[in-house]
Structure formats: structure tokens, C-alpha cells
A and B are shown apart, each in its own frame.
Chain A
Amino acid sequence: MRIAGKRISANRAKAWLALIPAVVVAFYFIWGFAAYTAYLSVTKSTFLPNHEFNGAANYRALFEDDRWWVAYSNMFIFGGLYLAGCIGLGVGLAILIDRLTGKEALFRTIYLYPMSLSLVVTGLAWQWILNPTIGIQKIVREAGVEDFKFNWLVSPDHAIYTIAFAAVWHGTGLIMILFLAGIKSTDPEIWKATRIDRIPAWRVYVSIILPQLRATLLTAVMLLGFQVVRSFDVVVALTNGGPGYASDVPARYVFEYFFQRGEIGQGAAGAVVMVATMIAIVLPYLYFEIRRREA
């Protein structure tokens, strides 16, 4: 018994040895870095990190910056459209595919393949289609509607919508797959019972099946939500924040302040506000959902 005990503790020690990379990643590369960036947001850092304390000055500068507010509110416009688009379309497609008796794999592949492409490729591809001088506007004009106008990509008021449009194209497939799996996992007996009562199929989905998929919805919202806060690639590739800074987002704003403007302190403040916003939205939602589930 004692030998076994010794062996087990030797193995425990080895398990800790094996966990060294995880410990380094967790404490240094993730939380250490995040804490350091938070610290930089209250220092006088400009082109280089500078550890001289600066109070809330960076936050004040950030909140007085019109550009920041454009980027920050764009995050919500983009986020709202992105979530509504991906979830609306994804759920719709999942139901349609669930109704299919054949060809399921074909359609699933068509809707899902954009997921394998990068957001840079997504942005660049849509940039050509949405470009007024080569894309949709040109096609419709050549088809005879000469004064047709579709210039959202270069319009300060509408550019942010084109970003949502491209991002929905990229993200819908995953949501569809999640909901399709959810729908397939519900009890097939429902169909027998509702057929006897002659309840139309759409009602079964809306009133019986979808309400069972709250957990799937939670996953989808969290997943897409984090994607929104992070979104950088698709913005740079599609509009690069333009025209002007009309379609800028916080992730791009922060990047620019770090590396192009040499305002590390203010950039870090922006990054902290990004995280704070995320927490402010996610925590109440998680709390609410978990309490619901326990009830």
C-alpha cells in the first residue's frame, strides 16, 4: 500500500510537470498580459510603455474622442444585425433542412463552407460585389435600371451595414449546425402526437421545439457576441473603417492607437472598455440563464 501511495504521489508530481505549459499560458500569456494592458491604460504610455501613473486621463481622452464613440456605437449596430442575421437565418435554415428528406448534406455544405474561409477572404470577396463601380450596382444598371443606386460600401451612413452583411454570410453556417443538432435531439414522439392533432409543422417548431433549445440559443449568443467584440479582420478587409472613420470598430480603433498613432495608453483604455462592455452584457445574461435552469 505504501509503495502504491508513493507511486501515486510521484505521478501527481509528474502531472504537475506536464501542466507547466498550461500554467504559463494561463498566468502569463493570458491573465498576466490582460492585467498588464489594464495597467497601461492608467499610465503615460505613448509610443512605448511608460510606467508613470496618469490617473484616468486616458479614459477621459477616450471618452472625449468622437471617433471612439463612432466605433463604439458601430459595435452595437454591427452586433445587433450580426446576431439577428446569423440566428434568424441559421434557425430558419436549420428548420428547412430538418424538413428535407434528401440532399441534406448538399445544402448543409453550401451554407457552412464560408466558415472555413478567413474573415479577410470574406471581406475582400464582398468588397468586389458591393463595390458600386463593379458589383451589384453595375449589374442592375446594365440590366436597364440606369439610375439604380447601391453604394452602401462607400456611404458613411451605411458602410457598417455591409460589414454585418458579409459577417452574417460567414457566421450563419455554424449557428445552423448548432440548431440543427438541437432540433434533431428533440423527442421524435412530438411529431406523432402533433400529427394526430393536425397541428401544422411550423407551429410545432415555433411553439414546441424551439422553446426547448434555450441552451443552444445561449451558446449561439455567447459565441457570436464574442465574435462581435473581436471583429477586426472583416472590417479591415471590407472598408478599413471607412469612409473616413464611419465604419470603425473598437478592435480596429485600439489597434490603430497602439501601432499607428503611438498612443498606447489610450489604446489600452479602449481595450479595457471593450472587455468591460463584454462583461457587462454577458454576466447578467449568464446569471439569468443559469438561475432559470436551476429553477
Chain B
Amino acid sequence: MTRRGLQGALLYGALFACAIYFLAPLYVMIVASFKTLAEVRESSITALPTVWTVEPWIKAWSSACSGLECNGIRPYFLATFEIAIPAVSLAVAIGALNGYAMAKWRSRAADIIFALILIGSFVPLQLFLIPLAITLRELSIYGTSFGLVLIHTVYGIPLTTMLFRNFYVALPDELIRAATMDGAGFFKIFSSIVMPMSGPIAIVAVILVFSGIYNDFLFALTFGETGKRPIMAAVQNLVASSYGIKEHNVNIAAVMISALPTLLLFFATGRFFVRGLTQGALKG
């Protein structure tokens, strides 16, 4: 074998070895979720099912029990979307307007607010829990889905503001100046010039904020509505609380269902997802 051939083999060998580490959990979960309970308890977790069954998925979706509730994870799954859709829309819309105001109508004060928000987005969320509980109680929305919409909108705004601001800074100022000369005002310029150019960054923002809200656990656990908790709190509770015989296949199917939306979003929008991640990462 030539030196180059050997190097190539080593390269692919290393890449495949790492691929196993990254793919193993997904593989294990997929095969386990299609096994019968008897088989999942007897067979090795790496073995393919001898009999494929979708029973665990159906049960996980509509009739698995966590505690006394036996409605599967469907109600929680749907509740998560009921929270995520308004919160994503609000956070993105407000972030776009804030980002525009900060990028194109710059002032010292606006820069300071931006810095405060940016640094603030690194504060551990634990510091917000008690004041949030108090605020939600004052507003009489403690433990409701509406409360979670408010929370996710509020803590989505730093990310969306940062994304839109950095995107708008790159737009030429002449555009705004020319429009001002023509008599267009602040909001008019936003709706007719800036907004139509925001497509790519809006997609990135929606993907990032949606994934963040959908995957949230801390707020879901603390402020979720009983029986309508967001999915991550619900699925964790389902897996942790099943008494008696643990139905691993059903639990694993439930985890798979809860993982699917963001997983599919990742595969469908790979390019935007990666761009969002790196931009989100580089905000510091």
C-alpha cells in the first residue's frame, strides 16, 4: 500500500470510529423503539428487532402513563407548539424591530442597552426563576401556557435582537438616508425597505428560537401547566416516573417522538441551522 493510501485509510478509519460514537445513541433508540417489550428486555440493545412493531410508538403517543395520566405524550407535544408558535413569532418580530432601531438609528444609549442585553444573555437562568415566579403570580399567569409564552418571548429577545442587529449593521446607511429624504418615517422604512431584505436572517432566527423553546427544560419544569407541560419536562417525567415494569420500548419511542421535530428541522434546513449556530456562537 502506498503512503498516501495508508494515510487515506487511517483518515477514514478515524472518521468512522468517531461516527460510531455519534450515531450509537440514535441507532440504539431507533431499534429499541420498534421492539416488543419481551424482546427489548431480553435482547441486546444493539440487535435489530426480530419482529418489528410500531406498537411502542402508538402507545407512547396516545396512551403511555406518567403518574395517573394515561394520555401518552400527545397533549404535551401539542401544548409545546401552542407555546412555541406565538413565542417565536413575538420574539422574532420584536427582535427585528429592536435590531433595526439599534443598527440604523444608533445612539450611545441604544449601544448601552445592546451591551446590557448581550452580557445579560450569559447570566445563568437560575437567577431569574424566583423573580419570574413572583411576576407571573402578580400577573395571575403562573403555571399557565400563557406564562410560558411570555417567558420564552422575553428570553428569546436577546438572541433575536443580536441576530437582526448584526445583520442590519451590514446594510448600507445610504438606503435609510435616501428613504428619509423621500419623506419615509421610521416604521415606514422598516416595513417597506428593511423587512423585505430580512428573509435569510429571519429564517435563522426562527430556527434557533424555535429549537431553544422546544428543547427548553428548566422553564418547562418550573412553570409548566399541570397536564399540559411542554414536551421535555413531560418526557423526562414519563421516563423517570414509570412504576412497576419499565416499558423501555415505549419510553424510548416517547423520547424519539420528542426528538423528531428539531431533528427533522436540522436535516431539512441544515445550512441555515449551521449558520445560525455559528452566528449565535460568535455573538460574544
Contacts and interface: CB of A to CB of B under 8 A. Distances in A.
Interface string A107-127: 101111111111111101111
Contact of B22 (A111, A116, A251): A111
Contacts of B122: 226, 278
Contacts of A68: none
A135 B40 CA distance: 11
Given A22-B157, A22-B161, A142-B44, A117 B263 contact: yes
B73 interface: no
Contacts of A148: none
Contact of B32 (A37, A128, A267): A128
A164 interface: no
A119 B215 contact: yes
A139 B45 contact: yes
Nearest to A251: B126
B202 interface: no
A275 to B, nearest CB: 6
B149 interface: no
Interface in B91-118: 94, 97-98, 100-102, 105, 107, 110, 113-114, 116-117
A208 B28 CA distance: 41
A99 interface: yes
Interface string A252-269: 001100110000100110
B117 to A, nearest CB: 5
Nearest to B115: A26
A275 B123 CA distance: 7
B67 interface: no
A254 B11 CA distance: 45
Contacts of A267: 130
A6 to B, nearest CB: 12
B14 interface: yes
A181 B123 CA distance: 27
A19 B102 contact: yes
A163 to B, nearest CB: 14
Given A22-B102, A223-B284, A128 B126 contact: no
Contacts of B248: 128, 134
Contacts, number: 246
Given A14-B185, A230-B124, A255-B126, A120 B235 contact: yes
A12 interface: yes
Contacts of A229: 124
A271 B124 contact: yes
A32 B123 CA distance: 12
A33 B128 contact: yes
B11 A120 contact: no
A34 interface: yes
Contacts of B107: 12, 15
Contact of A129 (B45, B101, B128): B45
Interface string A19-50: 10111011101111110111010000000010
Q: Could you tell me the dominant secondary structure of chain A's interface residues?
A: helix
Interface stretch (A59-67, A151-159, A186-194, A231-239): A231-239
B186 A15 contact: yes
Contact of A49 (B32, B130, B186): B130
Contacts of B132: 33
Contact of A25 (B105, B125, B157): B157
B192 interface: no
B255 A124 contact: yes
A103 to B, nearest CB: 8
Nearest to B207: A116
Contacts of A34: 120, 123, 127-128
A25 B215 contact: no
Contacts of B170: none
Contacts of A181: 278
B232 A177 contact: no
Nearest to A268: B130
A20 to B, nearest CB: 9
B143 to A, nearest CB: 12
A8 interface: yes
Contacts of A178: 278, 281
A261 B151 CA distance: 24
Contact of A26 (B120, B185, B251): B120
Interface in A155-183: 169, 172-174, 177-178, 181
A229 to B, nearest CB: 6
Given A29-B155, A119-B215, A22 B131 contact: no
B274 interface: yes
Contact of B131 (A37, A126, A255): A37
A99 B235 contact: no
10 contacts: A10-B185, A40-B130, A93-B15, A109-B270, A115-B266, A120-B235, A129-B28, A172-B22, A177-B278, A258-B129
Given A29-B155, A121-B259, 9 more contacts: A7-B183, A14-B187, A25-B157, A27-B116, A33-B128, A125-B28, A222-B284, A223-B284, A271-B126
Q: Nearest 4 CB-CB pairs, A to B? A: A118-B215, A116-B266, A30-B120, A14-B186
